[in-house]
Chain A
Amino acid sequence: MTIKNMTAEVDIKAVNEANNSKRAKDDDDNISQSLYLKRQKIYPRQVHGIFAGLRITAILLLLGIFFHVPWLEWDGRQAVLFDLPARKFYIFGLIIWPQDFHYLAFLLIIAALTLFFFTALAGRLWCGYACPQTVWTEAMLFIERIVEGSRIQQMRLDESPITWRKVFIKATKHSIWLIFSAYSGYAFVSYFTPAAELAHRFLTFSPGPWEAFWVFFYAALTYGNAGWMREQFCIYMCPYARFQSAMFDDNTLTIFYDEKRGEPRGSRSRYSDHRSMGHGDCIDCTLCVQVCPTGIDIRNGLQYECIGCSACIDVCDDVMEKMNYPKGLIRYTTQNALMGNKTRIFRPRIFVYGLLLLVLFAYLGYSLNQRIPIGIDVIRDRNQLYRETNGLIENVYTIKILNMDEKTHSYKLDAEGISNLSLFVDTENITVEAGKVLDLPVRLRADEADLDKRSSSFEFILTALDNDTLVVTKTAKFLGPVN
């Protein structure tokens, strides 16, 4: 319902109220109902063309990556595994510990900025080609087309009364949808639980309760979102769709209908001289509306429902070719180009996003390169602040050593910062296996004469024996009697 129609109805209501209060009440009820437009199911028509090809390629590639990555191996383990139970994320050669979480935060910020950058440059590329909602919806539409047939066949089937044939076709479609959704749910969970083990547990009907819950949860989400919600998700629920217009300006590449060239629209014979008939290039075949997955008419101008899938470009180009008109009545262009102005690709917005991205990438690269795969934590003994042993002051600590590297290391521990500080470790050999944590109790002794304060700072220094560059230091406090 358009805003215009609503206003008209409200005016009528006002008149009615003056004449007859009972009828006015009835009208009121009608209006409050008619404000909610029941969703009309959209049957997008299949498209062929350059952009459809690009889209299908992107969709197949992304689905392929999503389903295949959990099965990749790296050093005898799953290459990409967000191992929540072990609190470690494996991304190929990189192992991310909770301590390294800022790297992930950085990656997320980079991903968001990349999205902004490409949106400013070329509109909703993400929505049209790469968003999981688009990818899975397209897959579901593909299944629907295979089972139910073309757009017209689907519409006829939905309008027809229930018959065994209809039940059979619908049941087949939903079964395939459900199997596809279940496999998607399994693939998603296998990023968090080793894929092969999970598959084995499911095939032997013995999955863990939470694993089963999440597989079914994500399967249901896929089935509901991609099978049923489809474009409604983009229109009503997607947060990005609501604020993407903030990244748009007159130089952003978007899908436009060339109104100057197309209007006034109207049907005509292929061989007639449409200019002399007073027609523009648009033959009003409404194919652009029929192919639109969100059910809009691109000829009404850029609308926020448009996810930039470019199906209307492909289908309109086909029509233009058949009519022997130049292609591009609907095309990727900018507001500026359409108004006859110059399009500026390099503009402050692009520079700012680009520069920020560059800085973040450089910093991430640098800090990953400089990352020392040792973690050290110092925990003071809580029972006693200090004790006196052989005329010296003794403090007790537990050192937690994390080996975040991919191989076993032996370490040397030192303490510096207070003169004549002596360190006692109960074990001679501090060895930590790859990816493990060692709790090491240590005692430190110092002469009371060397302590000038109640609490003196010093440093623990941990060095790998096989590699001098693997060094970490940690500042700690040494407590003694008040002087």
Chain B
Amino acid sequence: MWDRIHSRSSKALKLITKLWLSFLTAGAGSIFIFVMFDPDDIFHCFHLENVSRTGGYSIVFLFFWLLTLISSLLTTLFLDYDDKKYDS
């Protein structure tokens, strides 16, 4: 089943999949962080008092998303090569 999916998905689809899965993990990470910390407290540490709470949640989530996306992209860059191309 997994081979079938991999052999059929195009590059664009693979990118969208990475975006989506990193979106999910970033969401889970944000929930975990914000249960423990108030975004106001986090931004006070960086002396950014003019960021609203909604802004705080959004920025931290987007930051997580960027991190998880970078990790996904790097992993594929390192591991996902076409075996047939390099075997010979």
Interface residues of A (CB under 8 A from B): 1, 3, 6, 31-32, 35-39, 84-85, 87, 98, 101, 193, 208-211, 213-214, 229, 232, 235-237, 239, 242, 245, 304
Given contacts A37-B8, A85-B52, A85-B53, contact A237 B17 (CB under 8 A): yes
Query: What B residues does A304 contact at CB under 8 A?
Result: 1
Interchain CB contact under 8 A, B17 and A211 = no
Q: Are A214 and B58 in contact (CB under 8 A)?
A: yes
- A85 / chain B contacts, CB cutoff of 8 Å: 52-54
Contacts of B38 in A (CB 8 A): 87, 98
Residue of B nearest to A17 (CB): B88
* Additional 19 contacts, C-beta under 8 A, given A84-B57, A98-B38, A236-B9: A1-B7, A3-B4, A3-B7, A32-B82, A36-B8, A36-B11, A84-B53, A84-B54, A85-B52, A85-B54, A87-B53, A209-B55, A210-B58, A211-B54, A213-B58, A236-B5, A236-B17, A237-B21, A245-B1
Query: Is A236 within 8 A of B13, CB to CB?
Result: yes
Best-surrounded residue of A6, A101, A211 (most CB of chain B within 10 A):
A101
A-B contact pairs, 14 of them (CB 8 A): A3-B7, A32-B82, A38-B10, A208-B52, A209-B55, A210-B52, A210-B54, A232-B13, A236-B9, A236-B13, A237-B16, A237-B21, A239-B24, A304-B1
- At the interface, yes or no: B85 with Cβ under 8 Å from chain A? yes
- Nearest first, the 9 closest Cβ-Cβ pairs linking A and B are A85-B53, A101-B35, A210-B54, A237-B17, A210-B58, A237-B20, A304-B1, A236-B9, A210-B55
The CA-CA distance from A245 to B2 in the complex, in Å, is 12
Q: How far is the CB of A86 from chain B (nearest CB, A)?
A: 8
> Interface range on chain B: under 10, 10 to 19, 20 to 34, or 35 or more?
20 to 34
Q: Is the interface of A mostly helix, strand, loop or mixed?
A: helix
Cα separation A264 to B14 with both chains bound (whole Å): 39
Min C-beta distance of A20 to chain B, whole Å: 16
B47 at the interface (CB under 8 A from A): no
Q: Are A39 and B58 in contact (CB under 8 A)?
A: no
**A38 and B16 alpha carbons, distance in the complex (Å):** 16
- List the B side residues contacting A84 at CB < 8 Å: 53-54, 57
Which chain B residue shows the least CB distance to A102?
Answer: B35
B8/A229 in contact, CB under 8 A = no
**Are B54 and A208 in contact (CB-based, < 8 A)?**
yes
A35 touching B20, Cβ below 8 Å: no
CA distance A247 to B2 in the complex (A): 17
Indicate whether A98 sits within 8 Å of B8 (C-beta atoms), given known contacts A84-B57, A232-B13, A237-B17: no
User: A36 contacts which of B10, B84, B85 (Cβ < 8 Å)?
Assistant: B10
Closest chain-B Cβ to A98's Cβ sits at a distance in Å of 6
- Cβ–Cβ < 8 Å partners of A213 in chain B: 58
The residues in B between 1 and 45 inclusive whose CB is less than 8 angstroms from any CB of A are: 1-5, 7-11, 13, 16-17, 20-21, 24, 34-36, 38
Taking the closest CB of chain B, its distance from the CB of A24, in whole angstroms, is: 11
Report the minimum CB–CB distance from A371 to chain B (whole Å). 17
Residue of B whose beta carbon sits closest to that of A39: B10
Contacts of B4 in A (CB 8 A): 3
Task: Kindly name the residue among B1, B24, B82 whose own CB sees the greatest number of chain A CB atoms within 10 A.
Answer: B1
Q: Determine if A1 and B8 form an interchain contact, defined as CB atoms under 8 angstroms apart.
A: yes
**In the complex, what residues of A have CB within 8 A of residue B24's CB?**
239
- With both beta carbons as reference points, the residue of chain A lying nearest to B5 in the complex is identified as A236
Most buried by A among B10, B53, B54: B54
Taking the closest CB of chain B, its distance from the CB of A408, in whole angstroms, is: 24
- Beyond A3-B4, A210-B55, A210-B58, whether A32 also contacts B10 by CB under 8 A is no
Chain A residues closer than 8 Å to B52, beta-carbon distance: 85, 208, 210
A237 proximity list for chain B (CB < 8 A): 16-17, 20-21
Q: Contact at A6–B21, with CB atoms within 8 Å?
A: no
Given contacts A36-B8, A36-B10, A239 and B21 within 8 Å (CB-CB): yes
Given A85-B52, A236-B13, A6-B58 contact (CB < 8 Å): no
Shortest A19–chain B CB gap in Å is 17
